[in-house]
């Protein structure tokens, strides 16, 4: 599904159009997505999922170490592309 996850009305519209049954067990997955969303908007999204889907699970993968080589490459490439990405603080876990 393509939607701006920081705009809940878009997410809800897309899911409704898909014919999703909110009463069924539902798995939400995101990979390297939430890092681009303001943390307040992420909390709103997760609360909305919890409120709307009584049997939901959420799997999230993000870059966890700003010291890893892949993260440094990711940042360098995006800066070279003149990207204006919003980077949220990361945890101090080591990969």
Convert the pLDDT of each residue in 38-71 to its tens digit: 889 999 999 999 999 999 999 988 766 777 787 7
Question: Taking the complete model, does pTM exceed 0.75, yes or no?
Answer: no
Query: At 79, which helix (H) or strand (E)?
Result: helix 69-80
In sequence order, which residues have a C-beta less than 8 Å from that of residue 42 and are 6 or more positions away? 6, 34
Q: How many residues does the chain have?
A: 95
Q: Where are the beta strands (DSSP E) in 1-95?
A: 26-31, 56-61
d(CA 64, CA 54): 29
């Amino acid at each position: 599904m393509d939607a701006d996850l920081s705009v809940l009305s878009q997410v809800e519209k897309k899911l409704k159009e898909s014919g999703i049954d909110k009463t069924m067990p539902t798995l939400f997955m995101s990979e390297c997505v939430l890092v681009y969303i303001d943390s307040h908007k992420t909390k709103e999204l997760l609360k909305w999922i919890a409120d709307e889907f009584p049997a939901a699970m959420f799997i999230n993968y993000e870059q966890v170490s700003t010291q890893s080589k892949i993260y440094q490459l990711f940042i360098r490439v995006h800066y070279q592309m003149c990207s204006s990405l919003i980077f949220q603080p990361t945890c101090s876990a080591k990969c």
